[in-house]
Chains A and B, each alone.
Chain A
């Protein structure tokens, strides 16, 4: 197993290099100047601008800049943000707790909703409960998060006045923290639980008809035990790997929700940085997302082998 993980990690290096080349290329070849703000400022004389360019190494050819960036990145030097003069890694770490709290709890809520509903739906296939649940899952899966977010604000903040619609990190009392997290967490949880529930249901349905289930019933095992001990345990194998695969996507997808509720997470940092042409921050965040995707792909494969003893890695 260790050998397998090591090999997968090694194999992911070329992928990551390619991704970084793509992202770096997009940024480097883009028209316009990362020093656009200086260019617009008439007080900065051309010599000074040239000097800044030289200091930042922008007058060197792109491949040289890429190699410099890559070596610095590996050594943990992610550069400084253009707009706030703070090291990029510190900027990202500052935002991380909020992100983990909002996105993490939304994922937990999504799982807590999706598994029981998916199981019940599959066990009572074609019942009214199943039909209602699958219809809601279908709708939840089709509604874009930016619309559900606005709907939540209209209903809970504007009409009912129950919840604040702007996320404020200064709030420290537990009730206030929970209150302001309800809507962003709810929006993300609804969306994610809808697609998860569909997977749980279809995975359960793949297993209910199998021989070992009939054997368990024939032995006289009660329905509850058949469902929980036999069917659910086996159907959760693909679901767990899916959870691992989906985690990076959840972080990336939270960009929109963070923007609606002004949650100061990594996603809103990304958008603000794109709009400020803050290249070092954009590059770092995009690349961190890419690393997450590649890493969790490996985690999913390893988990699959761990949970399903039929799969052996040579």
Chain B
């Protein structure tokens, strides 16, 4: 019985037990601290809000705003923004707001799924290279180097152009192309994450607590995922956030070059592609989808910036 019994502690003089009377505080965790620091980053909070509002609008929007994306009305061709069409109409008289909302769903979905894909691949590659070392490390890092030297934009264009018809035939025009785009963008973007994770693993696996875990007989998988991975997660989260933005840009680039989703699927990049020939008569056709891309990417990048500061343990509150 080393601890002081409660009755004895309560009877001690007030002056030497200042903590007993203060309110019990919730334990401070690393994630709690990070959240507190993140909240103080005004631009990051603004970015998070904007991105959530945008995502919510694209998910709920088409349900609430019931205007068909393919309703053609030649009388209202290229109409500027008005009460009936808040974002105006395109050359076929289709409502731009409906198309922007619907397209945003796809653009944001591609961004997030491609990010998940690249982070998963990158983390697995980096973790294996860093944990097992030796030949595995050499081999995987060689693969990473080759991928880093691949010219990504030409390859992206090439693969999508060559394979999209087959995949569209096999899995349906939207579903097949969605996964093709996600896999190709994710498959060409995992290298920075792999390097970050590998560096983290190399540093953490030499620490005493891993040695302790190993001597207690903790299995390999558990060592990797339970003990080491959580400690190298911060830079991965930051790079994952930023890669959502770059994936949205990559998808828009493809669609803008006419090599993304099929023409009747209005992603943001596709809407910009369609607007190119009408810039003089209907600039709103380019402005609204373009602004959406910028808002989405900018807000994600600000969130990443805020997370970088918030998750850096060297920055004490």
Q: How far is the CA of A139 from the CA of B145 in the complex (A)?
A: 30
Q: Mark A21-33, 1 if CB is under 8 A from B, else 0.
A: 0110011001110
A158 contacts the other chain (Cβ, under 8 Å)?
yes
Q: A32-B165, A142-B294, A150-B272 are in contact. List 4 more A-B contacts (CB 8 A).
A: A19-B150, A146-B253, A150-B290, A282-B158
B245 (CB) vs chain A CBs: closest residue: A142
A283 (CB) vs chain B CBs: closest residue: B158
Q: Mark B283-311, 1 if CB is under 8 A from A, else 0.
A: 10011001001100110011001000000
Within 8 A of B (CB), among A40-57: none
Mind listing 7 A-B residue pairs with CB under 8 Å?
Answer: A19-B150, A31-B163, A138-B302, A147-B293, A253-B153, A275-B258, A293-B150
Q: Check A146 against B162 for contact (C-beta < 8 Å).
A: no
Q: How far is the CA of A30 from the CA of B269 in the complex (A)?
A: 25
Contacts of A294 in B (CB 8 A): 149
Interface residues on A, range: 35 or more
B283 (CB) vs chain A CBs: closest residue: A154
Within the complex, the shortest CB–CB distance from B155 to chain A, in Å, comes to: 7
Q: Check B161 against A285 for contact (C-beta < 8 Å).
A: no
Within 8 A of A (CB), among B208-266: 245, 249, 252-253, 256-259
Q: Check B162 against A143 for contact (C-beta < 8 Å).
A: no
Q: Mark A140-163, 1 if CB is under 8 A from B, else 0.
A: 011110110011011001100000
Q: How far is the CA of A289 from the CA of B158 in the complex (A)?
A: 14
Contacts of B275 in A (CB 8 A): 150
Q: How far is the CA of A157 from the CA of B283 in the complex (A)?
A: 12
Contacts of B305 in A (CB 8 A): 138
Q: Check B153 against A154 for contact (C-beta < 8 Å).
A: no
Q: How far is the CA of A154 from the CA of B282 in the complex (A)?
A: 10
Q: Check A154 against B257 for contact (C-beta < 8 Å).
A: no
| Interface residue SS majority, chain B | helix
Within the complex, the shortest CB–CB distance from B152 to chain A, in Å, comes to: 8
A30 (CB) vs chain B CBs: closest residue: B162
A239 contacts the other chain (Cβ, under 8 Å)?
no
Q: Check A30 against B157 for contact (C-beta < 8 Å).
A: no
Q: Check A31 against B155 for contact (C-beta < 8 Å).
A: no
Q: How far is the CA of A293 from the CA of B294 in the complex (A)?
A: 28
Q: How far is the CA of A165 from the CA of B153 in the complex (A)?
A: 24
Q: Check B154 against A142 for contact (C-beta < 8 Å).
A: no
Q: Check A142 against B151 for contact (C-beta < 8 Å).
A: no
Contacts of A286 in B (CB 8 A): 151, 154-155, 158
A244 contacts the other chain (Cβ, under 8 Å)?
no
Q: List the 10 closest A-B pairs by CB distance, nearest first.
A: A30-B162, A289-B151, A147-B290, A31-B166, A142-B298, A286-B154, A154-B283, A146-B256, A142-B297, A158-B280
Of the candidates B161, B165, B280, the one whose C-beta lies within 8 Å of that of A275 is B161
Q: How far is the CA of A82 from the CA of B154 in the complex (A)?
A: 19
Contacts of A111 in B (CB 8 A): none
Contacts of A18 in B (CB 8 A): 146
Contacts of A259 in B (CB 8 A): 257
Within the complex, the shortest CB–CB distance from A247 to chain B, in Å, comes to: 13
Most buried by A among B158, B245, B249, B252: B158
Of the candidates B146, B154, B163, B279, the one whose C-beta lies within 8 Å of that of A153 is B279
Q: Check A290 against B150 for contact (C-beta < 8 Å).
A: yes
Contacts of B161 in A (CB 8 A): 274-275
A263 contacts the other chain (Cβ, under 8 Å)?
no
A300 contacts the other chain (Cβ, under 8 Å)?
no
Q: Check A289 against B301 for contact (C-beta < 8 Å).
A: no
